[in-house]
Chain A
């Protein structure tokens, strides 16, 4: 496991060292943002909406016991921007974008495409891995922000439209309690960190996969499992760092 961690760190270093591909061949990265980000929008959007619905419902039931239903907006917004937005998005990302990255890289290796590139004197880390890494890092915060926004709208829909909470109270309590620096920005920072970690894990697993069907299958499983564990572990760490008083 220690050697695995070392190899992982080395790959990270190699990818970051070749980040000049961002401004020299921006098209490559843009394409990856499209494949990774745009193609995840649907699942992120729908999930965000439903999470918002549930937060609205559950939040209402609980707050109602203390006569504080009007704080529902605040509850929904804080839950999403601080935690659920970055974390759930990262988990979904690991499952959807992460596995497709792993499988793609693994199969490219199996089909000797990587070898062909090397022999053609094209650096596969620069040409294949770096654009995908930066594509993931750029896409994640966007997806997390969309998730939070859609979730808040979902919570509003359930709270105000369905249950009948006063819309003024819903929004004003939220605005009074959600701090842009402390809550929104920290949520964005979390999602960037998660983006780096999950994308890197996905690329690493694909890069080191055995070039067989079982090998690729095992690699995609590891992407999801390791990615999820890393996200949850880092979330605890970051929450402790950011929200400690």
Chain B
């Protein structure tokens, strides 16, 4: 990576939560331009929360979230809009607009934020669709395309404004092997071509490790490990190894822990059966 470059995203001692519940605390991370950074963790570990903190949809309880050098908590109105226009987000499942067709979905950010002509819109959209291999699907309705295709259309939509930062929320979830390979390649190529930074929120080790420059592992409400994929693979940490190897039992127990609520419920059921 080009050495002295300003990080696109910085988290400084950030803690995040909803209401009374704290999801994550003490998060420090940094994303440089041209990097693919993977945020990994088990289900419910707070990965989506991190994404929402980056886009400014969720404000940090403590600590600072800096995006494009600015504290996102201080941005409002026009400034926030401008910052968000420099980000592309790929939602789980795509979050495509079901009342528009493929072309209109990708054209949406152009229509909303720019004043370029119809001809230019046509060219740009088809260009981005070409990059994801779906140029000739531009006429299809959203109900007519498969899940993998929808993910790719959503990617095209996320990059159509050529953002400086792309966030991917579980881009590999539920895809067949071929689509998996395509998606991983697209993420890497996009980052290299556009020179942007990419943050991957995922738990797919096999797909993300080959393309990631940095990996952050979160779990149990905090940052557990960070480094290059090779660093993490070589680590001796039990939890890390359980996660990376996909072992059913380890620091994360296989069995759900015993609670008084369960014991009461079981007693009640046994009572009902014998009665």
Interface residues of A (CB under 8 A from B): 107-108, 111-113, 115-116, 118-122, 127
* Inter-subunit contact B91/A116 (CB<8 Å): yes
* Inter-subunit contact A115/B80 (CB<8 Å): no
Which residues from chain A contact B84 at a C-beta distance below 8 Å? Answer: 119-121
Residues A122 and B89 in contact in the complex (CB < 8 Å), given A112-B95, A115-B57, A116-B95: no
Measured CB to CB, the closest approach of chain A to B91, in angstroms, equals 5
* Inter-subunit contact B98/A121 (CB<8 Å): no
* Inter-subunit contact B57/A119 (CB<8 Å): yes
* Inter-subunit contact B113/A121 (CB<8 Å): yes
Does B93 lie at the interface of the complex (its beta carbon under 8 Å from any beta carbon of A)?
yes
Q: What would 13 A/B residue contacts be, using CB atoms closer than 8 Å?
A: A112-B91, A113-B96, A115-B91, A116-B95, A118-B57, A119-B89, A120-B85, A121-B80, A121-B85, A121-B112, A121-B113, A122-B112, A127-B112
Interface residues of B in 219-259 (CB under 8 A from A): none
Measured CB to CB, the closest approach of chain A to B154, in angstroms, equals 8
Nearest residue in B to A104 (C-beta to C-beta)? B99
Does B109 lie at the interface of the complex (its beta carbon under 8 Å from any beta carbon of A)?
yes
* Inter-subunit contact A111/B89 (CB<8 Å): no
* Inter-subunit contact B113/A116 (CB<8 Å): no
Measured as residues with beta carbon below 8 angstroms from the partner, the interface class of chain B is 20 to 34
- Which one of A111, A116, A118, A127 has the greatest number of beta carbons of chain B within 10 Å? A116
Which residues from chain A contact B109 at a C-beta distance below 8 Å? Answer: 120, 122
Does B81 lie at the interface of the complex (its beta carbon under 8 Å from any beta carbon of A)?
yes
Which residues from chain A contact B112 at a C-beta distance below 8 Å? Answer: 120-122, 127
With beta carbons under 8 angstroms apart, the residue of B55, B89, B98 that contacts A113 is B98
Measured CB to CB, the closest approach of chain A to B110, in angstroms, equals 11
Which residues from chain A contact B96 at a C-beta distance below 8 Å? Answer: 113
Does B68 lie at the interface of the complex (its beta carbon under 8 Å from any beta carbon of A)?
no
* Inter-subunit contact A121/B81 (CB<8 Å): yes
Q: A119-B89, A120-B112 given. 10 additional CB < 8 A pairs?
A: A108-B98, A111-B95, A116-B91, A119-B55, A119-B57, A120-B109, A121-B85, A121-B113, A122-B112, A127-B112
Nearest residue in B to A111 (C-beta to C-beta)? B95
Interface residues of B (CB under 8 A from A): 55, 57, 80-82, 84-85, 87, 89, 91-93, 95-98, 108-109, 112-113
Which residues from chain B contact A115 at a C-beta distance below 8 Å? Answer: 57, 91, 95
Residues A112 and B93 in contact in the complex (CB < 8 Å), given A120-B112, A121-B113, A127-B112: yes
Which residues from chain A contact B95 at a C-beta distance below 8 Å? Answer: 111-113, 115-116
Nearest residue in B to A35 (C-beta to C-beta)? B99
Nearest residue in A to B85 (C-beta to C-beta)? A121
Nearest residue in B to A126 (C-beta to C-beta)? B112
* Inter-subunit contact B89/A116 (CB<8 Å): yes
Whole-angstrom distance between the alpha carbons of A118 and B57 in the complex? 8
* Inter-subunit contact A119/B98 (CB<8 Å): no
Measured CB to CB, the closest approach of chain B to A122, in angstroms, equals 5
Measured CB to CB, the closest approach of chain A to B213, in angstroms, equals 24
Measured CB to CB, the closest approach of chain A to B115, in angstroms, equals 12
Whole-angstrom distance between the alpha carbons of A118 and B56 in the complex? 10
Whole-angstrom distance between the alpha carbons of A113 and B85 in the complex? 17
Which residues from chain B contact A113 at a C-beta distance below 8 Å? Answer: 95-98
Measured CB to CB, the closest approach of chain B to A77, in angstroms, equals 40
Whole-angstrom distance between the alpha carbons of A194 and B85 in the complex? 39
Whole-angstrom distance between the alpha carbons of A221 and B85 in the complex? 38
Which residues from chain B contact A112 at a C-beta distance below 8 Å? Answer: 91-93, 95
With beta carbons under 8 angstroms apart, the residue of B55, B87, B98 that contacts A111 is B98
